[in-house]
């Protein structure tokens, strides 16, 4: 079997060499043609269609150490799969060794200490279910099929972030397999430099086999839902949204989404398929108090439909899953924003009125509050001035539409650039945005380069938003 090496060449791996790896792994080793090979190499973004030479399906840290050692011995190109949800598709490599962590799905919760130990194959749904059994949660994302590992290593934000910060702000420790095959424990007091880099530095420094998170009391029921307005009132709605989010309490989160209306049962049938503006609402404390706080939102325009009430936190975390199912082609562009200026709002409305597909959306996620109260130098994630993250999510089904959809997203990104702040959210960077990595990290980038030199001088871990050690 031929396999791709780190330097771009090829190496011939003999059958007995491959068999030696298979016998040392507790989990299965998949080769092209094996029954579950194609299923395992598929990830959320259908634009990514790569074929690894081998897939090591790890079930323990020892399997990860074995796979890393084998790849290092033969100088193989390596990719790391956790949840397989990242837009750039770095979980899969062509011709190399894919180290698949998706079978490592244990979550252990200590309800007294309010801590959770989470393996890297877990999705948000796995983590949420275990923590919510004790009325606890950590600030994660907005789509339950997202992998905890990738979300965390890139920073992580979601509904709870205004109250409890970025996902990395709740990370207490991590166990990591480094490029030289060591399993090391990291925290603020042990291998602190590596722990600093893991919190936002992506997969550049090693493979995390265990995350330890601080948990917080949440739910189990929360006030959440959607209020939907007609698109012809977008200017007033989004302007009022901008003003409202500048002063709302930390316990409340409101996001703006503009797209063509899906066939939601609380919307009139004649609205389905037409452009709308929706406000997504989440409140962590007493629902009665939350209802009073969100009452002004209904005055932002003529409400087409509303579905707001008390529901389980785990249900709200899955609310947008039907719009984000795997198997479609996806392309994103993203900006950090300190404020929502009139110019930005006008640009959003212009492009939202010309969406290339019915599945495409523009959302503005509100963070700020607790996410801004951590000093930028505290960890690798440094965009502490960002009060909002805007994501241009283009989604379609046929490869014939690739050029048209990507061009639309890039044009919107370029037109909205003057209104953006410094930095970028690395989890939203697509595979063609390697040149934005230094910009994304801003003031922490040089320190990350030095850390990369120390822990991965050969750039063994390069299938990521790569920080080069040179």
Which CATH number belongs to the domain containing residue 380 in this structure?
3.40.462.20
Angstrom distance (rounded) from CA 149 to CA 210: 9
- Strand ranges (E), 244-403: 252-260, 275-283, 305-312, 329-337, 361-366, 388-396
Shared domain for 369 and 251, answered yes or no, is: yes
b/e 257-285 (16+ beta carbons within 10 angstroms → b): bbbbbeebeebeeebeeebbbbbbbbbbb
Shared domain for 187 and 117, answered yes or no, is: yes
pLDDT for 246 beyond 90: yes
Query: pLDDT tens digits for 187-202?
Result: 999 999 999 999 999 9
Average pLDDT on 379-403 reads: 97
Shared domain for 54 and 166, answered yes or no, is: no
Shared domain for 248 and 344, answered yes or no, is: yes
Angstrom distance (rounded) from CA 62 to CA 24: 9
> Is 462 within the bounds of a domain?
no
Query: pLDDT tens digits for 155-186?
Result: 999 999 999 999 999 999 999 999 999 999 99
Shared domain for 35 and 90, answered yes or no, is: yes
Instruction: List the one residue out of 189, 173, 119, 175 whose CA is nearest residue 149.
Output: 119
Shared domain for 164 and 32, answered yes or no, is: no
C-alpha distances (whole Å) from 122 to each of 148, 311, 417 are: 6, 23, 35
Give just the sign of the alpha carbon dihedral 227, 233, 238, 243. negative
Q: Quick one: DSSP state of residue 14?
A: P
Residue 456 pLDDT class (50, 70, 90 cuts): very high
Q: What is the mean pLDDT of the chain?
A: 97
H-state helical runs in 28-143 = 37-41, 61-73, 124-132
Domain of 134 in residue numbering reads as 107-218
> Is 238 within the bounds of a domain?
yes
Shared domain for 136 and 53, answered yes or no, is: no
Shared domain for 190 and 275, answered yes or no, is: no
> Is 441 within the bounds of a domain?
no
Last residue of a domain, one of 163, 196, 218: 218
pLDDT for 434 beyond 90: no
Average pLDDT on 77-99 reads: 97
> Global pTM?
0.97
Domain count, the chain: 3
pLDDT of residue 62: 98
């Amino acid at each position: 079997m031929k396999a791709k090496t780190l330097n771009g060449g090829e190496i011939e791996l003999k059958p007995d060499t491959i068999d030696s790896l298979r016998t040392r792994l507790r989990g299965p080793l998949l080769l092209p043609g094996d029954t579950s090979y194609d299923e395992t190499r598929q990830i959320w973004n259908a634009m990514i269609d790569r074929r690894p030479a081998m897939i090591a399906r790890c079930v323990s840290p020892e399997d990860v150490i074995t796979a890393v050692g084998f790849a290092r011995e033969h100088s193989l190109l390596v990719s790391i799969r956790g949840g397989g949800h990242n837009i750039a598709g770095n979980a899969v490599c062509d011709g190399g060794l894919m180290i698949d962590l998706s079978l490592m799905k244990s979550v252990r919760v200590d309800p007294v200490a309010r801590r959770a130990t989470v393996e890297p194959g877990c999705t948000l749904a796995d983590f949420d279910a275990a923590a919510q059994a004790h009325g606890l949660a950590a600030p994660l994302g907005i789509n339950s099929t997202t992998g905890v590992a990738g979300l965390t290593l890139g920073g992580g934000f979601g509904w709870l972030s205004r109250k409890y910060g970025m996902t990395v702000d709740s990370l207490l420790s991590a166990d990591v397999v480094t490029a030289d095959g060591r399993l090391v424990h990291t925290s603020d007091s042990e291998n602190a430099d590596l722990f600093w880099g893991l919190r936002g530095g992506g997969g550049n420094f090693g493979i995390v086999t265990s995350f330890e998170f601080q948990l917080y009391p949440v739910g189990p029921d929360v006030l959440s839902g959607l209020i939907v307005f007609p698109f012809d009132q977008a200017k007033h709605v989004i302007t009022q949204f901008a003003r409202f989010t500048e002063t709302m309490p930390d316990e409340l989160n409101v996001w703006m989404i503009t797209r063509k209306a899906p066939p939601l049962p609380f919307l009139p049938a004649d609205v389905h398929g037409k452009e709308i503006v929706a406000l997504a609402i989440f409140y962590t404390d007493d629902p009665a108090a939350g209802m009073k706080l969100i009452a002004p939102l209904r005055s932002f325009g003529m409400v087409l439909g509303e579905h707001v009430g008390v529901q389980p936190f785990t249900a709200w975390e899955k609310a947008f899953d039907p719009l984000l199912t795997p198997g479609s082609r996806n392309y994103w562009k993203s900006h950090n924003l300190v404020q929502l200026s009139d110019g930005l709002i006008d640009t959003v409305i212009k492009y939202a009125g010309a969406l290339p597909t019915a599945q495409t959306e523009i959302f503005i996620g509100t963070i700020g509050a607790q996410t801004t109260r951590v000093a930028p130098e505290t960890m690798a994630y440094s965009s502490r001035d960002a009060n909002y993250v805007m994501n241009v999510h283009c989604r379609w089904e046929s490869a014939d539409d690739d050029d048209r959809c990507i061009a639309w997203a890039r044009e919107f990104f370029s037109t909205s650039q003057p209104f953006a702040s410094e930095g970028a959210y690395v989890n939203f960077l697509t595979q063609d945005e390697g040149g934005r990595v230094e910009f994304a990290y801003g003031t922490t980038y040089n320190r990350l380069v030095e850390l990369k030199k120390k822990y991965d001088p050969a750039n063994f871990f390069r299938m990521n938003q790569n920080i080069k050690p040179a």
